[in-house]
Amino acid sequence: MLDTRDSPIPSPALLKVLDGAVDLHVHSGPSPFPRRLDHVEASYDAARINMRAILIKSHHHNTVMDLLAMKELLKDAPTPAFGGVALNSEVGGVNPSAVAVAIQMGGRAVWGPTVSAGQHIRAHSHDDGFPTAGSNLEEKEETIWAEDGTVSPEAVRVTQLVAEAGIMLSGGHLDADSMKALFATAQENGVRRLLLHHPDFIVNASEGDVEEMLRYGAYVEHEMSMYHPAVPAPGFPIQQLVDWIERVGPERTVIDSDLGQKTNPLPVDGYIYVIQQLLDHGVKEKDVRQMICRNTAFLLGLEESA
């Protein structure tokens, strides 16, 4: 049973803003990393604010398998949960076969390399407790590039499969140049749902990089975990998020939790804190709902059933 006794209680006004949110970045378990809640508990957590859906992300495996294995436990769960696959070395890297399996099983998202991306490995080369390539998981670096410097045939095929299925493609933790090349290829092949994670953390994309990815049709995601005072790193000030929203615009900005880790707040606790902070800093309610309800629903493919 999920323990929410220490969780904040949102005001009725805040509940109205949060109603129908879609979280595209939930780190519930099972996972090789310690998790505070499993996928069933994540569904019940999301119901505290009447979320429309959640997307379960793992760095290490196809989460659609988890959800199908938990089908009986999830059948009465209040919030629909969806899954996908991240293209790290545990699934063979940038592997069209892993993507095809996830899609056939009902996956709604493909993430580019995260913990296996060279950018991630360099960012976490110090001992900060975040396993990287060379850890006891036997990970290795993965790339979208072929030896001749072009986008690899495998990466091209991944974008084709994503386009055919009409699902979301995230750039993961790739460096900006790799992500731009992946998104350009994805756009050429008809991918409609593209997502850039935390451009100011690990990815370290410049304003010019972000502008280019926006031209490819990407949305820019920011994570509540990075703005919550109970999460030690990176500990960004809320004004940084407000500045991003003003720079990119709410119509192309996405805010998700990136929570579920053992020592961090519950995902919904992230929503309660960060969204209230945005409202207190002058972000309009309609803009908040654009970022947490409408944009996220589109990326998860829910707009057609709205």
Overall average pLDDT of the 259-276 stretch: 97
State the average pLDDT over residues 242-271: 98
Q: What is the pLDDT of residue 122?
A: 85
CA distances to 55, 67, 81, 195 from 51, in Å: 11, 18, 10, 20
Q: Which fold has domain 12-305?
A: TIM Barrel (3.20.20)
Cα–Cα distance between 285 and 279 in angstroms, integer?
7
Q: Are 248 and 210 within 8 A, CB to CB?
A: yes
Domain ranges in the chain? 12-305
Q: Evaluate if residue 306 carries a pLDDT over 50.
A: no
Q: What is the DSSP letter of 152?
A: P
Lowest pLDDT segment from 2-11, 107-116, 119-128, 297-306: 119-128
pLDDT at 3: 87
Q: So what's the pLDDT on residue 109?
A: 98
Residue 245 has pLDDT above 50, yes or no: yes
Residue 256's φ and ψ, nearest 5 degrees, are -130, 170
Q: Are 224 and 271 in contact (CB under 8 A)?
A: yes
Return phi, psi of residue 220, to 5°: -110, 120
Task: Give the single-character DSSP code of 266.
Answer: P
Determine contact, residues 62/101, Cβ cutoff 8 Å: yes
Q: Where are the alpha helices (DSSP H) in the chain?
A: 12-18, 39-47, 63-69, 71-74, 96-104, 118-123, 153-165, 176-188, 207-215, 238-248, 267-280, 285-289, 295-299
The pLDDT mean for the chain works out to: 94
Give yes or no for a contact between 82 and 55, defined as CB atoms under 8 angstroms apart: yes
Collapsing DSSP to helix, strand or coil, 161 comes out as helix
Q: What CA–CA distances, in Å, run from 162 to 102, 245, 272?
A: 10, 28, 33
9 three-state secondary structure: coil
| Distance (Å, whole) CA 216 – CA 210 | 10
What would the mean pLDDT of 91-114 be, rounded to a whole number? 98
**Residue 169 bridge partners (DSSP):** 110, 194
User: Is the link from the previous residue into 234 a cis peptide, with omega within 30 of 0?
Assistant: yes
**pLDDT of 20-38, one tens digit each?**
999 999 999 999 999 999 9
Query: How many residues does the structure list for the chain?
Result: 306
Given a contact cutoff of 8 angstroms between Cβ atoms, the answer to whether 171 and 179 are in contact is: yes
Q: What is the mean pLDDT of residues 91-110?
A: 98
pLDDT score of 304: 59
Of 59-63, 118-122, 278-282, the least confident: 118-122
Q: Using CA of residue 204, residue 206, residue 207, residue 212, what is the dihedral sign?
A: negative
pLDDT at 125: 54
- The residues, any chain, with a CB within 8 Å of residue 53's CB and separated by 6 or more, are 22, 23, 46, 79, 80, 81, 82, 297, 300, 302
pLDDT score of 135: 58
Instruction: Say what the pLDDT of residue 127 is.
Output: 40
**Alpha-carbon dihedral sign for residues 52, 9, 26, 3:** negative
**pLDDT tens string 176-214:** 999 999 999 999 999 999 999 999 998 899 999 999 999
203 token code pair: 């990815």
